[in-house]
Structure 1
């Protein structure tokens, strides 16, 4: 005879999802410091004890919210999968990263604000090691592997490439509303085009002899 799971067991994933959603909204609207666990519990329609059952502290809950907004695992898996050059998949990776920022606008703005806030070193270290560090390290490893196969230049520091790729995406995310008022900026309303131009520039530079990435991609596909 099969025993049905209890109502409380069945509702556990739903409770966690409600807590994360409530925390994401409150953190984004008010900032980390101005949100209490009581407020999160009330917004999620659960008890404060239930929140602490799943998350040991407000910082742990905040880190979980930020990890969820980053959504990088699947993009990195696709970028690093075998078969075909990384350069063919890098434009899609960059586009997906920027799209996630734009779709989770409030949370990413909160992240940027927190990164600029003067907090204790442990808080910054936790953000680096438990939220951004693994994603950054995996991206660097994928780029380094492409260097070892001869696809990318070996003398370029892959961490520098990763930094430029992420940094340029963050700049677009933060500045697009201002950029759209510049008459020479035609890509402010085209994040996909921006990401692909960015990757083309990273792969080929500005030298007149450089071959556009789109042309190289078509050659590789033949």
Structure 2
């Protein structure tokens, strides 16, 4: 098979390969189509598949691999990456880990090789519609209209509505886990850590983006058992955070920690059904819920 990145001049080919690898370092988050377009603007004759050929030759064919390589080359490691690059790398690593849990494939390309801006626009529009209308009453045509695309353009990024729904939930779970883990680090004791985690959880459901809202919805309600089974690895990873936090609480021996976790998550997840703007914020509600669990709701005994 011919090398799709080869030019008629060997020196030109070496220069082109050098520029492709330079883009992998300077702009690791860009996909092959975007890099090919920039190179063509510089006067090189190259296709997206030609860019991918060179990247694959150097084991750099996904954005996650390029970010990992960039971090490994720097003495500062991941800290050498920009904040957005660190978030992309964290999301990609976690997504790959969860995908391996849910299937036998090892795939780094889940969120990395499509043009990120358009892909994210589709995910955001889908999350909005799924959170308002539900999975069954939302169509690909509706989602495409929401971002000014033809349905075929959406199918180019996501082969089915189910895959798009899973991408929305995956994005929500990964983002919420990252936010909760960061919040918990500021806690000084087990109860404060739990409260901080609950604040982020409820904030995500009532005060945040549609992606986070749909994540909360899914944890509370869904009548699509097949989809629930595919989402299960992500839900388990998410709930494990609360399992660890509750296991660390200083409680009486009679407390059933598993039931406590289910009780707390169930109460928080149900908020999206009754919450109305204008009252307490999501974080205030979470504080009160944890305080009621910790201190009880009965009258204090007489001293």
Deviations 1:89-131 (A, max 9, x none): 2222211111111134766379648965643x3223234x044
Name the residue aligned to 2:120: 17
Task: State the 1:62 CA deviation.
Answer: 0.8
Whether the 8 Å CA contact 2:122–2:147 is kept in 1: the answer is yes
Runs (5+) with no aligned partner, structure 2? 1-14, 24-34, 38-47, 52-112
Q: State the distance in 1 between where 2:185 and 2:240 align.
A: 16
TM-score (norm 2): 0.52
Whether the 8 Å CA contact 1:91–1:196 is kept in 2: the answer is yes
Task: State the 1:81 CA deviation.
Answer: 4.8
Whether the 8 Å CA contact 1:15–1:46 is kept in 2: the answer is no
Name the residue aligned to 2:36: 6
Runs (5+) with no aligned partner, structure 1? 181-187, 210-222
CA RMSD of aligned residues (A): 3.7
Q: State the distance in 2 between where 1:24 and 1:105 align.
A: 9
Name the residue aligned to 1:169: 268
From 139, 151, 172, the counterpart of 2:242? 139
TM-score (norm 1): 0.67
Q: State the distance in 1 between where 2:200 and 2:273 align.
A: 16
Larger radius of gyration: 2
Task: Name segments (4+ residues, structure 1) moved above 6 Å.
Answer: 8-11
Q: State the distance in 1 between where 2:283 and 2:162 align.
A: 33
> Superposed, which structure 2 residues align to 1:1-222 within 5 Å?
1=15, 2-3=19-20, 5-7=35-37, 12-46=115-149, 48=151, 50-70=153-173, 71-78=175-182, 81=185, 84-104=188-208, 108=213, 112=217, 116=221, 118-119=223-224, 121-127=225-231, 129-144=232-247, 146=248, 151-177=250-276, 188-206=279-297, 208=300
* Higher relative contact order, chain-length normalized (CA < 8 Å, sep 6+): 1
Q: State the distance in 1 between where 2:169 and 2:120 align.
A: 14
